[in-house]
Amino acid sequence: MEPQPNKSTPARSETTHPGRLRRVFGLVLLIIGLGVALYPLFPGIQYRIKRPTPTVPYITNRTANDPLFATLGLPVLENKPIPQDNRVVIPRIGVDMPILEGATEKVLDRGGMWHLPETSTPDANGNVVLSGHRWQYLPPSAMTLYNLDKVQDGDPVFIYWRGKEYTYTITGRETINPDQVEILAPTDGPRLTIFTCTPVYSTKYRLVLYGQLIT
């Protein structure tokens, strides 16, 4: 008698093939989900692995041997013309963005840092208050305050205002509630106040850095 074919074999094959597809599809979804969940952490990880090279992109009255520059190991500077637009440069975190004027924070949609109305200007020796987005752009973009928490006391911040350079050094920081508007108040002497949302990807608090004018 001739052997009969095993009729159950095709059935097992039919069920195994879709099962494998489901497992592969589930694995792909898991990898995508992990990537989406971890994406917000990538810039911070990248900063720890390879920190941005701090530079000052415009002409300055300081030299490479200046202790202020030695803090960051800044290279010998090129004599590039001071920008004609108003800008802020934070070498520690590679920030170089325009300073924008506007009645509300909607001006930030143009990309840059918002000079809050009614606060001082660098040439008026008062409290210059600037604010910017933290995660609309991500490093290595120069248009983000994502790494503002990495700026250290003593670090320089350069403001280019109406064709002149103003150098501040960071003197302190604090985390406050959004309704603590006293950081906008006038001061008796020159001060720089920079703030953004914190923690990252949250608007619960504000991270505020303060700077003192040195030149």
The closest alpha carbon to 193, from 205, 183, 203, belongs to: 183
Give the model confidence (pLDDT) of 132-156 as tens digits. Answer: 999 888 888 899 999 999 999 999 9
Cα pseudo-dihedral 91, 57, 78, 212, rounded to 10:
-50
Domain boundaries, the chain: 1-50, 54-213
pTM (2 decimals)? 0.77
Pairwise CA distance, residues 184 & 165, whole Å:
23
Give the model confidence (pLDDT) of 66-99 as tens digits. Answer: 777 777 777 656 667 888 899 999 999 999 999 9
- 48: which 2 tokens? 């720890």
Pairwise CA distance, residues 115 & 134, whole Å:
16
Mean pLDDT value across residues 164-187: 96
CATH top-level class of 54-213: mainly beta
- 12: which 2 tokens? 């097992």
How many helices (H) and strands (E) would you count in the chain? 3, 8
